[in-house]
A = this chain, B = another copy of it.
Protein backbone atom coordinates (compact mmCIF):
# COMPACT_ATOMS: atom_id res chain seq x y z
CA UNK A 1 0.00 0.00 0.00
CA UNK A 2 1.51 3.24 -1.16
CA UNK A 3 -1.04 5.90 -2.06
CA UNK A 4 -3.88 6.68 0.32
CA UNK A 5 -6.42 9.37 -0.53
CA UNK A 6 -8.42 11.04 2.24
CA UNK A 7 -11.51 12.67 0.76
CA UNK A 8 -12.50 14.89 3.66
CA UNK A 9 -9.74 15.73 6.13
CA UNK A 10 -11.79 16.71 9.18
CA UNK A 11 -12.27 15.00 12.54
CA UNK A 12 -12.73 11.48 11.09
CA UNK A 13 -10.66 11.65 7.90
CA UNK A 14 -7.85 13.49 9.67
CA UNK A 15 -7.77 11.17 12.68
CA UNK A 16 -7.75 8.10 10.41
CA UNK A 17 -4.87 9.62 8.45
CA UNK A 18 -2.85 10.13 11.65
CA UNK A 19 -3.30 6.55 12.89
CA UNK A 20 -2.80 4.87 9.51
CA UNK A 21 0.33 6.91 8.79
CA UNK A 22 1.71 5.97 12.21
CA UNK A 23 1.29 2.26 11.44
CA UNK A 24 2.44 2.60 7.83
CA UNK A 25 5.08 5.35 7.72
CA UNK A 26 5.85 4.77 4.04
CA UNK A 27 2.41 5.58 2.67
CA UNK A 28 1.68 8.93 1.08
CA UNK A 29 -1.51 10.51 2.34
CA UNK A 30 -3.15 12.63 -0.35
CA UNK A 31 -5.84 15.04 0.85
CA UNK A 32 -8.91 16.03 -1.15
CA UNK A 33 -11.43 18.65 0.00
CA UNK A 34 -13.95 21.07 -1.45
CA UNK A 35 -12.18 23.88 0.37
CA UNK A 36 -8.56 24.72 -0.30
CA UNK A 37 -8.24 26.39 3.12
CA UNK A 38 -9.16 23.09 4.78
CA UNK A 39 -6.48 21.28 2.77
CA UNK A 40 -3.89 23.88 3.70
CA UNK A 41 -4.71 23.46 7.38
CA UNK A 42 -4.50 19.66 7.05
CA UNK A 43 -1.13 20.04 5.34
CA UNK A 44 0.19 22.40 8.04
CA UNK A 45 -0.98 20.02 10.76
CA UNK A 46 0.79 17.15 9.02
CA UNK A 47 -2.44 15.17 8.59
CA UNK A 48 -1.73 14.81 4.86
CA UNK A 49 1.44 14.76 2.80
CA UNK A 50 0.04 16.26 -0.40
CA UNK A 51 -2.97 18.07 -1.79
CA UNK A 52 -4.83 16.25 -4.57
CA UNK A 53 -8.01 16.24 -6.66
CA UNK A 54 -10.45 13.54 -7.75
CA UNK A 55 -8.59 13.28 -11.06
CA UNK A 56 -5.55 11.87 -9.24
CA UNK A 57 -7.39 8.81 -7.88
CA UNK A 58 -6.08 6.47 -10.60
CA UNK A 59 -3.07 5.43 -8.52
CA UNK A 60 -4.98 5.09 -5.24
CA UNK A 61 -4.49 1.92 -3.20
CA UNK A 62 -7.02 3.16 -0.68
CA UNK A 63 -9.59 5.98 -0.71
CA UNK A 64 -11.20 6.99 2.60
CA UNK A 65 -14.39 9.04 2.20
CA UNK A 66 -15.25 11.06 5.33
CA UNK A 67 -17.53 13.85 4.17
CA UNK A 68 -21.20 14.69 4.87
CA UNK A 69 -23.37 11.70 3.91
CA UNK A 70 -25.25 13.55 1.17
CA UNK A 71 -21.93 14.40 -0.49
CA UNK A 72 -20.87 10.74 -0.15
CA UNK A 73 -24.01 9.53 -1.94
CA UNK A 74 -23.40 12.00 -4.74
CA UNK A 75 -19.64 11.49 -5.08
CA UNK A 76 -19.18 7.77 -4.49
CA UNK A 77 -20.06 6.61 -8.05
CA UNK A 78 -17.56 9.11 -9.51
CA UNK A 79 -14.87 7.95 -7.08
CA UNK A 80 -15.42 4.32 -8.05
CA UNK A 81 -15.32 5.32 -11.74
CA UNK A 82 -11.86 6.74 -11.24
CA UNK A 83 -10.06 4.10 -9.20
CA UNK A 84 -8.04 1.20 -10.59
CA UNK A 85 -9.14 -2.45 -10.43
CA UNK A 86 -7.08 -3.02 -7.29
CA UNK A 87 -8.08 0.17 -5.49
CA UNK A 88 -10.20 0.02 -2.32
CA UNK A 89 -12.75 2.68 -1.38
CA UNK A 90 -14.20 2.90 2.14
CA UNK A 91 -16.59 5.44 3.61
CA UNK A 92 -17.12 6.46 7.22
CA UNK A 93 -20.69 7.74 7.06
CA UNK A 94 -23.17 7.59 9.93
CA UNK A 95 -25.89 6.27 7.58
CA UNK A 96 -25.47 3.19 5.43
CA UNK A 97 -28.65 2.39 3.48
CA UNK A 98 -28.58 5.31 1.01
CA UNK A 99 -24.83 5.06 0.60
CA UNK A 100 -24.94 1.34 -0.22
CA UNK A 101 -27.86 1.93 -2.57
CA UNK A 102 -25.97 4.66 -4.43
CA UNK A 103 -23.43 2.14 -5.71
CA UNK A 104 -25.35 -1.16 -5.64
CA UNK A 105 -25.19 -1.54 -9.39
CA UNK A 106 -21.86 0.14 -9.96
CA UNK A 107 -19.43 -2.01 -12.02
CA UNK A 108 -16.79 -1.46 -9.34
CA UNK A 109 -19.09 -2.24 -6.37
CA UNK A 110 -16.66 -4.95 -5.27
CA UNK A 111 -13.97 -2.30 -4.76
CA UNK A 112 -16.12 -0.57 -2.10
CA UNK A 113 -16.48 -1.40 1.60
CA UNK A 114 -19.23 0.40 3.57
CA UNK A 115 -18.16 1.24 7.12
CA UNK A 116 -19.19 3.26 10.12
CA UNK A 117 -16.37 3.74 12.61
CA UNK A 118 -18.22 4.73 15.80
CA UNK A 119 -15.84 7.27 17.16
CA UNK A 120 -15.76 11.01 17.31
CA UNK A 121 -15.98 14.09 19.42
CA UNK A 122 -18.28 17.10 19.24
CA UNK A 123 -15.58 19.03 17.37
CA UNK A 124 -15.08 19.15 13.61
CA UNK A 125 -12.61 20.11 10.90
CA UNK A 126 -8.90 19.23 10.54
CA UNK A 127 -7.96 20.90 13.84
CA UNK A 128 -10.25 18.38 15.60
CA UNK A 129 -8.26 15.39 14.30
CA UNK A 130 -6.49 13.48 17.09
CA UNK A 131 -4.28 10.42 17.42
CA UNK A 132 -5.80 7.24 18.82
CA UNK A 133 -9.43 8.27 18.29
CA UNK A 134 -10.40 4.78 17.12
CA UNK A 135 -8.64 2.69 19.76
CA UNK A 136 -11.10 0.27 21.39
CA UNK A 137 -14.00 1.58 19.29
CA UNK A 138 -16.43 -0.34 17.11
CA UNK A 139 -16.32 -0.29 13.33
CA UNK A 140 -19.59 -1.41 11.76
CA UNK A 141 -19.05 -3.00 8.35
CA UNK A 142 -22.06 -3.39 6.05
CA UNK A 143 -22.59 -5.76 3.12
CA UNK A 144 -19.11 -7.22 3.57
CA UNK A 145 -19.96 -10.00 1.13
CA UNK A 146 -20.25 -7.48 -1.70
CA UNK A 147 -16.56 -6.54 -1.46
CA UNK A 148 -13.73 -8.52 -3.08
CA UNK A 149 -12.26 -10.85 -0.48
CA UNK A 150 -8.74 -9.50 -0.89
CA UNK A 151 -9.87 -5.91 -0.35
CA UNK A 152 -12.02 -6.92 2.67
CA UNK A 153 -8.93 -8.45 4.23
CA UNK A 154 -6.85 -5.37 3.52
CA UNK A 155 -9.42 -3.06 5.08
CA UNK A 156 -10.00 -5.22 8.14
CA UNK A 157 -6.28 -5.45 8.86
CA UNK A 158 -5.93 -1.68 8.53
CA UNK A 159 -8.76 -1.00 10.96
CA UNK A 160 -7.95 -3.67 13.51
CA UNK A 161 -4.36 -2.40 13.47
CA UNK A 162 -5.57 1.02 14.66
CA UNK A 163 -7.41 -0.66 17.53
CA UNK A 164 -10.95 -1.11 16.22
CA UNK A 165 -13.20 -4.12 16.76
CA UNK A 166 -15.24 -5.07 13.72
CA UNK A 167 -18.99 -5.80 13.76
CA UNK A 168 -21.00 -6.85 10.71
CA UNK A 169 -24.52 -5.63 10.06
CA UNK A 170 -26.81 -5.03 7.12
CA UNK A 171 -27.41 -1.37 6.16
CA UNK A 172 -31.11 -1.39 7.09
CA UNK A 173 -30.42 -2.71 10.60
CA UNK A 174 -27.49 -0.35 10.98
CA UNK A 175 -29.61 2.69 10.21
CA UNK A 176 -32.44 1.51 12.49
CA UNK A 177 -30.24 0.87 15.51
CA UNK A 178 -27.87 3.80 15.05
CA UNK A 179 -30.90 6.11 15.14
CA UNK A 180 -31.37 5.01 18.78
CA UNK A 181 -27.72 4.72 19.75
CA UNK A 182 -26.49 7.96 18.19
CA UNK A 183 -28.85 10.11 16.14
CA UNK A 184 -31.46 10.53 18.91
CA UNK A 185 -28.74 11.57 21.40
CA UNK A 186 -27.75 14.40 19.11
CA UNK A 187 -31.30 15.73 18.83
CA UNK A 188 -31.97 15.39 22.57
CA UNK A 189 -28.80 17.36 23.18
CA UNK A 190 -29.48 20.07 20.59
CA UNK A 191 -33.04 20.59 21.85
CA UNK A 192 -31.90 20.63 25.48
CA UNK A 193 -29.40 23.35 24.58
CA UNK A 194 -32.10 25.27 22.71
CA UNK A 195 -34.58 25.02 25.59
CA UNK A 196 -32.09 26.39 28.08
CA UNK A 197 -30.66 29.10 25.81
CA UNK A 198 -34.17 30.31 24.86
CA UNK A 199 -35.11 30.57 28.52
CA UNK A 200 -31.95 32.15 29.82
CA UNK A 201 -31.18 34.35 26.79
CA UNK A 202 -31.29 37.53 28.83
CA UNK A 203 -29.63 36.19 31.93
CA UNK A 204 -26.27 35.02 30.75
CA UNK A 205 -24.69 34.83 34.19
CA UNK A 206 -27.22 32.10 34.94
CA UNK A 207 -24.86 29.83 33.03
CA UNK A 208 -22.58 30.06 36.08
CA UNK A 209 -25.06 27.53 37.46
CA UNK A 210 -24.18 25.00 34.79
CA UNK A 211 -22.35 22.01 36.21
CA UNK A 212 -20.57 19.10 34.62
CA UNK A 213 -23.88 17.22 34.30
CA UNK A 214 -25.39 19.88 32.07
CA UNK A 215 -22.15 20.14 30.08
CA UNK A 216 -22.14 16.39 29.50
CA UNK A 217 -25.77 16.30 28.40
CA UNK A 218 -25.50 19.19 25.93
CA UNK A 219 -22.02 18.34 24.67
CA UNK A 220 -23.35 16.99 21.36
CA UNK A 221 -25.14 20.30 20.71
CA UNK A 222 -21.72 21.58 19.65
CA UNK A 223 -21.75 19.16 16.71
CA UNK A 224 -21.58 20.33 13.10
CA UNK A 225 -24.96 21.08 11.43
CA UNK A 226 -23.24 20.47 8.05
CA UNK A 227 -22.59 16.86 9.02
CA UNK A 228 -25.82 16.22 10.90
CA UNK A 229 -28.51 17.71 8.64
CA UNK A 230 -27.89 15.18 5.84
CA UNK A 231 -27.70 12.33 8.39
CA UNK A 232 -31.17 13.19 9.70
CA UNK A 233 -32.43 13.56 6.13
CA UNK A 234 -31.14 10.15 5.03
CA UNK A 235 -32.31 8.42 8.19
CA UNK A 236 -35.57 10.34 8.42
CA UNK A 237 -38.00 7.47 9.05
CA UNK A 238 -35.95 5.85 11.79
CA UNK A 239 -35.10 9.12 13.49
CA UNK A 240 -38.74 10.25 13.55
CA UNK A 241 -39.64 6.92 15.18
CA UNK A 242 -37.03 7.39 17.93
CA UNK A 243 -38.18 10.97 18.50
CA UNK A 244 -41.79 9.85 18.84
CA UNK A 245 -40.86 7.27 21.46
CA UNK A 246 -38.64 9.72 23.31
CA UNK A 247 -41.41 12.35 23.38
CA UNK A 248 -43.91 9.74 24.64
CA UNK A 249 -41.55 8.82 27.49
CA UNK A 250 -40.92 12.45 28.43
CA UNK A 251 -44.64 13.22 28.32
CA UNK A 252 -45.38 10.21 30.51
CA UNK A 253 -42.77 11.38 33.03
CA UNK A 254 -44.34 14.85 33.04
CA UNK A 255 -47.84 13.40 33.57
CA UNK A 256 -46.62 11.29 36.49
CA UNK A 257 -45.22 14.46 38.04
CA UNK A 258 -48.49 16.33 37.49
CA UNK A 259 -50.34 13.46 39.20
CA UNK A 260 -47.87 13.57 42.11
CA UNK A 261 -47.09 9.92 41.48
CA UNK A 262 -43.53 10.10 42.75
CA UNK A 263 -43.38 6.38 43.46
CA UNK A 264 -43.75 5.86 39.73
CA UNK A 265 -41.17 8.61 39.05
CA UNK A 266 -38.77 6.70 41.31
CA UNK A 267 -39.46 3.51 39.37
CA UNK A 268 -38.90 5.24 36.02
CA UNK A 269 -35.42 6.18 37.16
CA UNK A 270 -34.59 2.98 39.04
CA UNK A 271 -35.50 0.83 36.04
CA UNK A 272 -33.19 2.87 33.82
CA UNK A 273 -30.30 2.87 36.28
CA UNK A 274 -28.86 -0.38 34.91
CA UNK A 275 -27.65 1.62 31.93
CA UNK A 276 -24.57 1.65 34.19
CA UNK A 277 -23.83 -1.98 33.42
CA UNK A 278 -24.71 -1.61 29.75
CA UNK A 279 -22.33 1.29 29.30
CA UNK A 280 -19.45 -0.26 31.19
CA UNK A 281 -16.37 0.19 29.12
CA UNK A 282 -17.64 3.08 26.98
CA UNK A 283 -16.07 6.36 27.94
Q: Please tell me which stretch of A17-25, A144-152, A254-262 contacts chain B, meaning at least 4 of its Cβ atoms lie within 8 angstroms of it.
A: A254-262
Per-position 1/0 for A158-186, Cβ under 8 A of B: 00000001010000000001101110111
In whole angstroms, what is the CA distance A28 to B187 when docked?
Answer: 49
Residues in chain B near residue A106, CB distance under 8 A: none
Q: Which residues of B contact A178 (CB under 8 A)?
A: 209
- Contact of A64 with B by CB under 8 A: no
Asked if A195 and B249 make an inter-chain contact with CB atoms under 8 angstroms apart, the answer reads yes
Q: Which of A1-9, A38-46, A97-105, A222-230 contacts B (4 or more CB under 8 A)?
A: A222-230
The verdict on A247 contacting B254 (CB below 8 Å), with A196-B181, A196-B184, A218-B275 known, is yes
A207 close to B254 (CB less than 8 A): no
What is the interface size of chain A, counting residues whose CB is below 8 A from a CB of the partner? 92
Task: List, in ascending order, chain B residues with CB within 8 A of A233's CB.
Answer: 260, 262, 265
A266-283 contact mask (Cβ, 8 Å, vs B): 1 or 0: 101111111110110011
Inter-chain contact B258/A250, CB cutoff 8 Å:
no
Task: List, in ascending order, chain B residues with CB within 8 A of A269's CB.
Answer: 190, 221, 223, 225, 228-229
Measured in the bound complex, the distance between the Cα atoms of B282 and A217 in whole Å is: 12
Give every chain B residue within 8 A of A137 (Cβ-Cβ). Answer: 211
Contacting pair A216 B217 (CB below 8 A) = yes
Confirm or deny: A37 has a beta carbon within 8 angstroms of a beta carbon on chain B.
Answer: no
Q: Say yes or no for A236: interface residue by CB 8 A criterion.
A: yes
A208 CB to nearest chain B CB (Å): 5
User: A182, B253: Cβ atoms under 8 Å?
Assistant: no
Given contacts A165-B208, A185-B218, A190-B253, 9 further A-B contacts (CB under 8 A): A120-B211, A167-B209, A180-B199, A185-B217, A190-B269, A204-B278, A222-B276, A240-B257, A243-B257
* 16 A-B pairs in the complex with CB atoms less than 8 angstroms apart: A119-B212, A121-B212, A138-B209, A181-B209, A181-B214, A182-B209, A182-B210, A191-B246, A195-B242, A210-B278, A215-B283, A218-B279, A222-B279, A225-B269, A236-B257, A244-B254
B-binding residues in A (CB < 8 A): 118-122, 137-138, 140, 165, 167, 177-178, 180-182, 184-200, 203-223, 225, 228-230, 232-233, 236, 239-240, 242-247, 249-251, 253-254, 257-258, 260, 262, 265-266, 268-276, 278-279, 282-283
